[in-house]
Structure 1
Amino acid sequence: MLQTLSPRTVFFGQALMALVAMLFAYYYLQQYLELAPCPLCMTQRVAVVAGGVFALLAALHNPPGWGRRVYAGLCVLAAAFGCAIAGRHVWLQHLPEDQVPACGPSLEYMLETLPFAETVSMVLMGDGNCADISWTFLGLSIPEQTLLLFVVILLVSLWQTLRARPAS
């Protein structure tokens, strides 16, 4: 069954998943629930958008053979980056309270005052704000849900990279 799905359909599905995830994060979590995203959340959003853009480009271009593998490889890289960031975020949330790093300045402040490389380094490290669990669904925090999303995208992208060309 899965082997009969066209690569274009799978890539469109990945792009749609990324779009739904971003709409949920922005309109429901950020606007409706008024949850401000921490720096690690913003970085995860970048990974979701990057993976979605690569998948959409792949679906629109619909290249055969190695072209499909290149696009799927880009989706793998975006998902792997997202897994790493979401994994760090989950790790921070599960630290004992006395080991949680101190809260840092806002992302806007860091971008305005610090060199870009230092800002990226500080964002990727996370801070005390990132350790807060402000909302859960089915017992999973937002970073745990995002990590699950990245794992699914990573597995689908790896499958797209390694599968044989579907019969036409």
Structure 2
Amino acid sequence: MIDDLRRLDVREWSLAGLAFCVLMMGVALVLEHVVGLEPCPLCIFQRVAVLAAAAVFLVAALHNPDGRLGAVLYGLMSLAAVGGGIAAAGRHLWLQSLPADKVPTCGPGLDYMMEILPWQQVVSRVFTGSGECAEISFLLLGISLPGWTLLGFLVLALAPLGLLLLANRPHPGFRWVG
């Protein structure tokens, strides 16, 4: 199985990552539009991270570079997007773990903040957290949605790591001297 993973190229790793991003967004949209769960600001940031990773994976799959540089660049860019999602999901889980008296008060909605504040202040306020982000509105097997999303991002991180490992494998004509 490890040998099979070593044979994957940039396109195959990227398509696997893109497929997982589509799965994550599909679940999020079903939970919003079918189940009726409204996303909080941190949920929206997690969706942005999934979409950013999907965009990198799509470009990487279409480009399918031969050299190591392409694999490294696409691996690092997608890993940065996935890392942002891990940070948002981790922060969300932390807010949910706070005792009720330590939960920040609810602030204005994300759409309102986007209209009146510069994006840097919006990001800062969202990561500071609000009461709505601390609410646990859904559990599956005792794990909240940010917990499942964090797990999804950790699985998704395998695709950029695969791209980075691909860039570090020896060239087919390489032989150890000794």
Q: Same fold (TM over 0.5)?
A: yes
- The aligned counterpart of 1:60 is 62
1:17 counterpart = 2:2? no
Aligned residue in 2 for 1:96? 99
Contact 1:38 / 1:130 at 8 angstroms: preserved in 2? yes
Aligned residue in 2 for 1:48 = 50
Is 1:136 the equivalent of 2:139? yes
Paired amino acid for 1:126: G
1:159 aligns with 2:162: yes
Amino acid corresponding to residue 143 of structure 2 in structure 1: L
TM score, norm. by length of structure 1: 0.92
The root-mean-square deviation of aligned C-alpha atoms, in Å, is 1.6
Q: Report the Cα offset of residue 145 of structure 1.
A: 0.9
Residue identity over aligned pairs, in percent, reads: 43
Deviations along 1:67-113, whole A, 9 cap, x unmatched? 11110111110111111111000111111111111111111111222
Q: TM-score, normalised by structure 2?
A: 0.87
Letter in 1 for 2:44: M
User: Contact 1:100/1:127 (CA < 8 Å) preserved in 2?
Assistant: yes
The residue number in structure 1 matching 2:176 is: none
Q: Which residue of 2 aligns with 1:126?
A: 129
Point out the structure with max Rg over C-alpha.
2
Long gaps (5+) in structure 1: none
8 Å contact 1:5–1:166 — kept in the other structure? no
Misfit runs of 4+, over 6 Å: none
Any gaps of 5 or more consecutive residues in structure 2?
173-178
Amino acid across the alignment from 1:106: G
Q: What number of residue pairs does the alignment pair up?
A: 166
